[in-house]
Amino acid sequence: MHIYLVRHGDAVSTHPSGDRPLSDEGRREAGRMAGFLAHAGVRVGTIVHSGKARAAQTAEILNGGLDGNAELGVWPGLHPNDPVAPVGERLSRTGSDLMVVGHLPFMAKLAGHLVYGEDDAILELHTTAVTCLLKSDAGMWLIEWLMYPALLGFD
């Protein structure tokens, strides 16, 4: 089983509502990453996000670039400073490939929680970075790969 941890795309610096949407650059990054993921053969039945505009828009763009057939949903507990253990437990019970789109520092801490059992950030996740975690037959989470937008031609 694979879990894809995604940090949302670049967002505008301010927004009247306070819920910052993706910037033009963020939409381009997410589209480019979606193309990479599709070419890499990534398939997920579900993409979940925090409900914040920038995460929801990133999830929608990634879904559209994959095949558009994933179920999109909002999961509670994916906001920047939420505790990671409840989401980690939920992911451990998940039986199918899943993509999670969220924020820093939460996503980096979630990776640490799953891989090392510690709620420490173990990755530096730039906007629209994707980390693929594999659940081994022994039930351990392993980092299989990590892709940054800069490697796809974005700075």
Token output for 78: 């994916």
pLDDT at residue 137, rounded to an integer: 87
pLDDT at residue 16, rounded to an integer: 67
**Phi, psi (rounded to 5 degrees) for 132:** -100, 120
**Phi, psi (rounded to 5 degrees) for 62:** -60, -45
Which domains are delineated in the chain? Answer: 2-9+19-152 (3.40.50.1240)
Q: What is the pLDDT of residues 107-143, one digit of tens each?
A: 999 999 999 988 888 888 899 999 999 998 888 999 9
SS3 of the chain: helix, strand, coil, percent, to 5: 35, 20, 45
Q: What is the pLDDT of residues 3-50, one digit of tens each?
A: 999 999 999 887 766 689 999 999 999 999 999 999 999 999 999 999
Structure confidence at residue 154 as a pLDDT band (50, 70, 90): low
